[in-house]
A and B are shown apart, each in its own frame.
Chain A
Amino acid sequence: MSLGYIVRRLLGAIPLLFGISLILFTIVHLAPGGPLDVYVDNPSVSKEALDQIAKAYGLDQPVPVQYVLWLKSMLVGDWGYSIRTGRPVLSEIVLRLGPTMELGGLALLLSLLIAIPLGIISASRRGSKLDGTLTLVSFAGISTPVFWLALLLQLLFSVHLGWLPSAGYKSIGDGSFPDRLAHIVMPAAVLSLATIASWSRFIRSGMVDVLNQDYIRTAYAKGRGERGVVFFHALRNALIPAVTVIAVDFGTVISGAVITETVFAWPGIGRLFMESMDGRDYPMLMGLMMMGSVGIIVANIVADLTYAALDPRIRYG
């Protein structure tokens, strides 16, 4: 994989980001009431004050000019101020990024640790009862609404058994490792369910394809045991197609995080998004949407690069 390929992939993301920013900007400005909607409904804000705010935000300029101004300031890291808190959007987001990274990181770890073995077992026992059961379970996992699963877990583990706190990041006055662990278990489980279900399917099908290859038969013929064949010969190649799927799923994970963090009152950026929705905090919403889109684009680039690194047959000029 050449440096040129990496650079080209990164450059390719620029028009994408441009398109995304244009769409988001258009949506917010087409909305009835525009970005100042929240003030328009407020009787204590006079018409004059409204005009003044509009002027301060550059909203009295023609829309294309506003777009260019907005894009310019986005590029230099000035993402505006939150209408709700009055603090800079970017620093507010950075503040809430930690809990989301913790939750997302744990969910990712859980997903990989569970999905890969499940996929391998399913593929190597292809057509067995176990494979059939796992297929059924993963279909159910993909079809389960995240928010409902969250409610069920709260019902079981918090209301009935009282084992886990129903929501929050940590207990007041506590924050020790066991306390924080107790808080993160349910959200992480909920967030990883759908990915475990779908990834294990893709790892299974990747594995099945690979296990039918001639070189696998050769490995068996040379006297390699099943374990050796599966782990040393097949796994790496079986994971290659799965890498792409994992990246494509990144958007689903973002949607899942918004729901999970809301139900479990987890103070990350997903919940920040919902709080900003309730407060119609458009600068914040725009910032978060851009952030999410950048995340998806980066995930896709990383997937392509990993794909190229794992598969020496692939050479992008």
Chain B
Amino acid sequence: MVDSTIEAIATTPPQSYGRRALKRFLKRPMAVLGLAFLVLLALIVIFGPLISPYSFDGQDFSLIGSPGPMTAEHWLGTDELGRDALTRLIYGGRVSLAVGLAGAIISTLVGTVVGAFAGFYRGWTDTLLMRFTDVMLSIPTLPLVLLLSGLFRPGPVLLVAIVGTLIWMGTARLVRSQFMALREREFVEAARALGAGGFRLMFRHILPTAIGPITVAATLAVGSAIMLESALSFLGFGIQPPVPTWGNLLNSASSWLSVAPWLAIPPGLCILFTVLSVNFLGDGLRDALEPKE
């Protein structure tokens, strides 16, 4: 009995961290579904505008004046300027997803660097960086983004930068706590004994060990960035028409709500399902990458 167990252990090939994580991830149906939806959506927003017979700002002058109904030519109808709603929805998805991804990348970079320095160096570096994080957390986010975009009237690139630099605080706190715990571990001490300097210790040795929680935070940040951008664009201070985003599509649809409700429903559904998928994916990644054992 005991022998066979030992034999079984000896003959089972050791599974890598990645393989075990994948196995755990695949056991979460909602996370897999979320990932599948996001992949599908990415394909649609990349290739959709190429297939569509309309361009996002192309107008059918015979349909100008008020929103047009859903027809065989215009599956989701047309807006008040005679533009195809489905094409604008898909193109808007391209913008919203791009903003979400880029915003999340920036936020993760800022949060990781701030958290790494605070957690690794401790002392006054930690105090200073964490007080700054507290300050940023104490300013209401949406009003601050509104203020910044009202003042600077940013183009898409600057807007992404603004969104990214306002949602990094959670990541910073998380990375800090990871670094504070990991810096005391033997492998870090060993590397230090071998002569590794601060940067090498932080980014070659500690960071890869903390990559699981950071990946989860980065995933969830995509959802926050999409939500923040669409709220901003909905209020009229984000990406400006004629470039569509899901947020500003809802802004223009809201003026035609009683006449053309079909314009107001699809962009919201897109935001809902995208953010929902991101949240499910993040949740699944958390279980896969940070097993509680």
Interface residues of B in 98-154 (CB under 8 A from A): 131-132, 134-135, 137-144, 146-148, 150-152
The interface stretch among A45-53, A90-98, A115-123, A252-260 is A252-260
Instruction: Kindly state whether residue B280 has any CB partner on chain A within 8 Å.
Output: yes
Instruction: Kindly state whether residue A203 has any CB partner on chain B within 8 Å.
Output: no
Instruction: Kindly state whether residue A69 has any CB partner on chain B within 8 Å.
Output: no
Interface residues of B in 224-239 (CB under 8 A from A): 227, 230-231, 234-235, 237
Instruction: Decide if A143 touches B147 in the complex (CB within 8 Å).
Output: no
Chain A residues with Cβ below 8 Å from B264 are 148, 151-152, 155
Q: Among B138, B143, B151, B230, which residue has its beta carbon within 8 angstroms of that of A273? A: B143
Instruction: Decide if B139 touches A147 in the complex (CB within 8 Å).
Output: no
Q: Among B146, B223, B231, B257, which residue has its beta carbon within 8 angstroms of that of A143? A: B223
Chain B residues with Cβ below 8 Å from A293 are 138-140
Instruction: Kindly state whether residue A23 has any CB partner on chain B within 8 Å.
Output: yes
Q: Among A20, A32, A151, A262, which residue has its beta carbon within 8 angstroms of that of B138? A: A20
Instruction: Decide if B272 touches A155 in the complex (CB within 8 Å).
Output: no
| Nearest chain B residue, comparing its CB with the CB of A37 | B151
Which residues does B use to contact A, with CB under 8 Å? 30, 131-132, 134-135, 137-144, 146-148, 150-152, 223, 227, 230-231, 234-235, 237, 250, 253-254, 257-258, 261, 264-265, 267-268, 271-272, 275-276, 278-280, 283
Most chain A CB inside 10 Å of its own CB: which residue of B144, B253, B280 = B144
| Chain B nearest Cβ from A39, distance in angstroms | 15
Q: Among A251, A262, A273, A280, which residue has its beta carbon within 8 angstroms of that of B137? A: A251
Chain B residues with Cβ below 8 Å from A140 are 272, 276
Instruction: Kindly state whether residue A305 has any CB partner on chain B within 8 Å.
Output: no
Instruction: Kindly state whether residue A146 has any CB partner on chain B within 8 Å.
Output: yes
Most chain B CB inside 10 Å of its own CB: which residue of A19, A255, A288 = A255
List 28 A-B residue pairs with CB atoms under 8 Å apart, sorted by A's residue number: A16-B131, A16-B135, A16-B138, A19-B131, A23-B135, A23-B139, A32-B151, A140-B276, A144-B272, A145-B231, A145-B275, A147-B234, A149-B268, A152-B268, A155-B257, A159-B261, A251-B140, A254-B142, A255-B142, A255-B143, A258-B142, A259-B235, A274-B235, A280-B150, A292-B139, A296-B140, A297-B138, A300-B138
Chain A residues with Cβ below 8 Å from B223 are 143
- Cα(A292)–Cα(B272), bound, Å: 27
Most chain A CB inside 10 Å of its own CB: which residue of B132, B140, B279 = B140
- Cα(A297)–Cα(B137), bound, Å: 9
Q: How many A-B residue pairs have CB under 8 A?
A: 129
Which residues does A use to contact B, with CB under 8 Å? 15-16, 19-20, 23-24, 27-28, 31-32, 37, 136, 139-140, 142-149, 151-152, 154-155, 159, 251, 254-255, 258-259, 262-263, 273-274, 277, 280, 285, 288-289, 292-293, 295-297, 300
Most chain B CB inside 10 Å of its own CB: which residue of A148, A154, A155, A273 = A148
| Chain A nearest Cβ from B228, distance in angstroms | 9
Chain B residues with Cβ below 8 Å from A254 are 140, 142-143
Instruction: Decide if B151 touches A31 in the complex (CB within 8 Å).
Output: yes
Chain A residues with Cβ below 8 Å from B147 are 27-28, 277, 285, 289
Chain A residues with Cβ below 8 Å from B139 are 20, 23-24, 289, 292-293, 296
Q: Among B132, B142, B235, which residue has its beta carbon within 8 angstroms of that of A19? A: B132
Chain B residues with Cβ below 8 Å from A144 are 272
> Majority SS of interface residues in chain A?
helix
| Nearest chain A residue, comparing its CB with the CB of B275 | A143
Q: Among B30, B151, B268, which residue has its beta carbon within 8 angstroms of that of A145? A: B268
Instruction: Decide if B131 touches A142 in the complex (CB within 8 Å).
Output: no
Instruction: Decide if B231 touches A259 in the complex (CB within 8 Å).
Output: yes
Chain B residues with Cβ below 8 Å from A251 are 137-138, 140-141
Instruction: Decide if A145 touches B146 in the complex (CB within 8 Å).
Output: no
Chain B residues with Cβ below 8 Å from A136 are 30
Chain A residues with Cβ below 8 Å from B254 are 151, 263
- Cα(A148)–Cα(B237), bound, Å: 17
- Cα(A5)–Cα(B197), bound, Å: 40
| Nearest chain A residue, comparing its CB with the CB of B273 | A143
| Chain A nearest Cβ from B257, distance in angstroms | 6
Instruction: Decide if A147 touches B135 in the complex (CB within 8 Å).
Output: no
| Nearest chain B residue, comparing its CB with the CB of A286 | B147
| Nearest chain A residue, comparing its CB with the CB of B254 | A151
Q: Among A15, A285, A292, A295, which residue has its beta carbon within 8 angstroms of that of B131? A: A15
Instruction: Decide if A148 touches B235 in the complex (CB within 8 Å).
Output: no
Chain A residues with Cβ below 8 Å from B234 are 145, 147, 259
Most chain A CB inside 10 Å of its own CB: which residue of B141, B143, B152, B261 = B143
Chain B residues with Cβ below 8 Å from A296 are 137-140
Q: Among B30, B268, B272, B283, which residue has its beta carbon within 8 angstroms of that of A151? A: B268
- Cα(A300)–Cα(B134), bound, Å: 11
- Cα(A1)–Cα(B264), bound, Å: 52
Chain B residues with Cβ below 8 Å from A285 are 147
Chain A residues with Cβ below 8 Å from B150 are 277, 280
Known: A151-B254, A151-B268, A259-B231. A20 touches B142 (CB 8 A): no
